[in-house]
Amino acid sequence: MGTHSTIKPALLPGDGQKSGWNAILPDRPATPLVGNHDADWVVVGAGFTGVSCARRLGELNPGHRIILLDALPLGFGASGRNSGVVTESLAPEGGIKGLSLQRARDKTRLMNAGTDLLRRQVQEHGIACDWSDKPRIKASTNPVGESYLRGLKEGYEKVGTRIDWVTRDEVRHNLGTDFYGSGIAIHGNGIVQPAALLRGLADNLPPNVLVADASPVIEMSRQAPFRLTLPGATVTCERVMLCCNIFLPQFGFGRGRYMFLATHASLTAPMSPEQASRFPLDEPFALVPAIHGAASLRRTADNRILMRKSTHYANRDLRFDWQALEQVRGAHRKAIDDRWPALRDLPIEHTWGGIVSYPANHGQVFGEFAPGLYASSSCCGIGVSLGAISGTLLAEMACGEGSALLDIVRAIPAPTPMPPEPMRRYIAEKALRRSTRKCQPD
Ligand SMILES: Cc1cc2nc3c(=O)[nH]c(=O)nc-3n(C[C@H](O)[C@H](O)[C@H](O)COP(=O)(O)OP(=O)(O)OC[C@H]3O[C@@H](n4cnc5c(N)ncnc54)[C@H](O)[C@@H]3O)c2cc1C
């Protein structure tokens, strides 16, 4: 087969380093695909999008063979690296710059459905991922943030999300720190151990879905029947679902239409009973950034603190900077100490990075791009719920099932081209600097 008729991703996922979420789970040996296989469907990418897609394909086609592939061990992609907030809605302009009310309503309907879908899966299969329905909080650190949050509250109300204004005292009561001023509590989300959720979903797929991780697709033909080449295997199939998030442009879709940002997180050891007793409430919480670039933080069900901050531009190689992890850990240490001086002795056990994709104009790659070749990429830093529902709808579309939600996702336009480099980098870094300045002290 000539190279013109095949796609060879120039960049493959390479974050072999575990996130803290994976590190605190029991080891899980990878099961790479070996040998030559035939399948009815291949799903490339086993994050929340791909796992949901494979599940729905398996349900709708009980007689078909479905192979779900991931280049990395399960959960080593963004889906096992994130802050674990299953986000239920988006506020329009005022919340996210340039997001129209209609687009925010559409995405909110999708995200509500994605959150409900994941909540149901957790209940149905008894997935142990510490799912909590506690509302996420956005809080201000300065007057700019507070007036911004008032606008945001209105925005969330316009898309039908239940919001409470929370006073400074209530924020302190919830988070156990007086670092923040007043804020908003946003209802309807889930808070989870994301790597445990992903494992639970993958372990409860229909029996006709084979999961193969540590199995990168290094070459793929452009037309059906598709032949996918892996280091130790080949698969031939009639239909391919590309659910590979930041690597989708490597397969030729959405090139030049995304901005990629690396962001980092740290997880502490569990608090001692004495440290935990200093918090007014004995329950997990999630604080998500009020302004882009600010910190997310969590108290987990097992009494660890998660700190997610430190963001930089990552378009060139889709990698975070390993060399910088010590420096990042220092910044996270300071951020934890600033919020909870009594936790100074609580060690940080894990620090990691991950990449988030931001499509131009809040668009989404979704659909059938050649006969039998489907793709979806929806991240925007909120791809847990949006990925779960998009993967499900992609499977339904490919199987000829229609729905109001499918009409919504299909109406979201594709991302428009971004300015070329180095202009794109310049704009992104300027925006990052501006938002970091706004949310000082952070
Ligand atoms: C630090 C951090 C914090 C975040 N916090 C949140 C949050 O709190 N809430 C939220 O909703 N979102 C959050 N996000 C974003 C969220 O993690 C993503 O939007 C979501 O996981 C995307 O899921 P996905 O399935 O589309 O992609 P991924 O999880 O990235 O899955 C795609 C998979 O494709 C695989 N792949 C790529 N190329 C190939 C190939 N050639 N062959 C085989 N496999 C391939 C990759 O290995 C990868 O596992 C965060 C992200 C980061 C990095």
Band of pLDDT at residue 429, cut at 50, 70 and 90: confident
Residue ID of nearest Cα to ligand 1 atom 12: 382
Residue ID of nearest Cα to ligand 1 atom 25: 47
Mutate to test the pocket of ligand 1, among 357, 379, 394, 409 (most ligand atoms within 8 A of CB): 379
In our burial notation (b when 16+ CB lie closer than 10 A, e otherwise), range 356-382 reads bbbbbbbbbbbbeeeebbbbbbbbbbb
Q: Is the pLDDT of residue 3 over 50?
A: no
What's the rounded Cα separation, in Å, for the pair 156 and 114? 17
The upper half-sphere exposure of residue 341, i.e. CA atoms within 13 Å in the direction of its Cβ, equals 2
Domain count, the chain: 1
Q: What are the pLDDT digits (tens) for 108-164?
A: 999 999 999 999 999 999 999 999 999 999 998 888 788 889 989 999 999 999 999
Domain membership of residue 44 (yes or no) is yes
Work out the mean pLDDT of the chain and round it to a whole number: 93
What pLDDT, on a 0 to 100 scale, did the predictor assign at position 293? 72
| Residue span of the structural domain in which 199 resides | 3-80+195-256+362-411
Domain membership of residue 162 (yes or no) is no
What pLDDT, on a 0 to 100 scale, did the predictor assign at position 437? 66
Domain membership of residue 377 (yes or no) is yes
> Sign of the CA dihedral 301, 54, 88, 365?
positive
Compute the average pLDDT of residues 322-346.
Answer: 94
Nearest Cα to Cα of residue 51 among 109, 127, 133: 127
What's the rounded Cα separation, in Å, for the pair 85 and 306? 12
pTM score, two decimals?
A: 0.96
> In a 10 Å sphere around its CB, with 0-12 CB exposed, 13-18 middle and 19+ buried, how is residue 237 labelled?
buried
What pLDDT, on a 0 to 100 scale, did the predictor assign at position 2? 43
Domain membership of residue 221 (yes or no) is yes
Domain membership of residue 70 (yes or no) is yes
Alpha carbon of 106 to those of 45, 155, 160, 386, 401: distances in Å?
25, 14, 11, 11, 19
Domain membership of residue 291 (yes or no) is no
Residue ID of nearest Cα to ligand 1 atom 11: 382
Cβ atoms of 394 and 366 within 8 Å: the answer is yes
Nearest Cα to Cα of residue 261 among 380, 356, 353: 356
Nearest Cα to Cα of residue 253 among 415, 138, 109: 415
Which residues does residue 153 pair with via DSSP β-bridges, in sequence order?
none
Residue 39 sits in a domain whose CATH number is 3.50.50.60
Which residues does residue 163 pair with via DSSP β-bridges, in sequence order?
186
What Rg, from alpha-carbon coordinates, does the chain have?
21
Q: What are the pLDDT digits (tens) for 170-227?
A: 999 999 999 999 999 999 999 999 999 999 999 999 999 999 999 999 999 999 999 9
What's the rounded Cα separation, in Å, for the pair 366 and 21? 29
Lowest mean pLDDT, pick from 9-23, 157-171, 220-234: 9-23
Tokens coding 200: 């639970």
- The closest-lying atom of ligand 1 relative to the alpha carbon of residue 379 is 19
What pLDDT, on a 0 to 100 scale, did the predictor assign at position 319? 82
Task: Please state the length of the chain.
Answer: 442
Residue tagged 């930089």 (tokens): 312
Residue ID of nearest Cα to ligand 1 atom 30: 78
Domain membership of residue 366 (yes or no) is yes
Residue tagged 């980098």 (tokens): 425
Pocket of ligand 1 (CB under 6 A): 9, 12-13, 44-50, 69-72, 77-79, 81-85, 87, 216-217, 243-245, 247, 263, 265, 308, 354-356, 379, 381-384, 387
Q: Report the amino acid identity of residue 193.
A: Q
What pLDDT, on a 0 to 100 scale, did the predictor assign at position 25? 98
User: What is the maximum span of the chain, computed from C-alpha positions, in angstroms?
Assistant: 67
C-alpha 275 – ligand 1 centre gap (Å):
33
Domain membership of residue 30 (yes or no) is yes
Q: What are the pLDDT digits (tens) for 41-69?
A: 999 999 999 999 999 999 999 999 999 99
Residues whose CB is less than 8 angstroms from the CB of residue 222 and which lie 6 or more positions away in sequence, other chains included? 5, 6, 7, 370, 373
